[in-house]
Amino acid sequence: MMTLNRLNNFSVSRALALATACVIFAACATAEDPLDNLVEVKSTTLFDAPAVRPAKPASQETVAHGKYLVELLGCGACHTDGALLGDPNMQAWLAGSQVGIAYSNPLKGSHPGVVFPSNITPDVETGIGGWSRDQVAAAIRAGAGRHGGGTIVVMPWQAYAKLSDEDVYAMADYLKSVEPVRLATPDNVPPGEPTSHDYVHFGVYWTR
């Protein structure tokens, strides 16, 4: 008996991506037609970013500018649990998502690769508490992992590559200044392996 899996189509608008249109779908895929029974869902893309802690490592102006940019670029739309399905957990803003983003073609295989947006609060164990400003900046602007290896899958770093040093370091200072939330995210799943977690499907595909 074949297990039915949730399939979702997702595209979220980004301020620096020229207002890309968003469409999100949630559905059960079947072997005959993976696009049967699509159910449209609404993501949450705009909401206030968390306040900073009283002790700040940078000037108020810099942190405020970073907060503005984090809100403008919609970081919480992926990095807040439930936001991808329109029901964000406001007690864990920016603390990562238990809902994943599938990145491989939904028409090729019933088990896409799925990544889970990470915790970007300054918790040492589950977030970016052990990251330097340079490492956070590199993740934002170049999609680099903490130690510079590889590229963070589905991270829209291409849209942020032209951020100035002033902007990207302001974002890093802000993210290092918010209240840490200890919340681990699920492990990423490579293509071909099932996941028990909900996910949305990210990407635009064409045929020839």
Residue 208, in any domain of the structure: no
Residue 181, in any domain of the structure: yes
Please report, for residues 41, 114, 174, 202, 204, the alpha-carbon distance to residue 22 in angstroms, rounded to integers and kept in the order given.
11, 19, 27, 10, 11
Task: Give the model confidence (pLDDT) of 103-162 as tens digits.
Answer: 887 777 788 889 999 999 999 999 999 999 999 999 998 877 655 555 677 788 888 889
**Residues of the chain with pLDDT > 90: what percent?**
47
Q: What is the mean pLDDT of residues 175-190?
A: 94
Instruction: Centre a 10 Å sphere on the Cβ of residue 9 and count the other Cβ atoms it contains.
Output: 21
| Unique residue bearing structure tokens 């599938």 | 102
d(CA 103, CA 184): 21
pLDDT at 154: 78
Residue 206, in any domain of the structure: no
User: Model's pTM, two decimal places?
Assistant: 0.71
Question: How many domains does the chain divide into?
Answer: 1
Residue 24, in any domain of the structure: yes
Q: What is the CATH number of the domain that holds 117?
A: 1.10.760.10
pLDDT at 2: 32
Domain span including residue 74:
5-201
186 within 8 A of 116, measured Cβ to Cβ: yes
User: Using 50, 70 and 90 to split pLDDT, how confident is the model at 5?
Assistant: very low
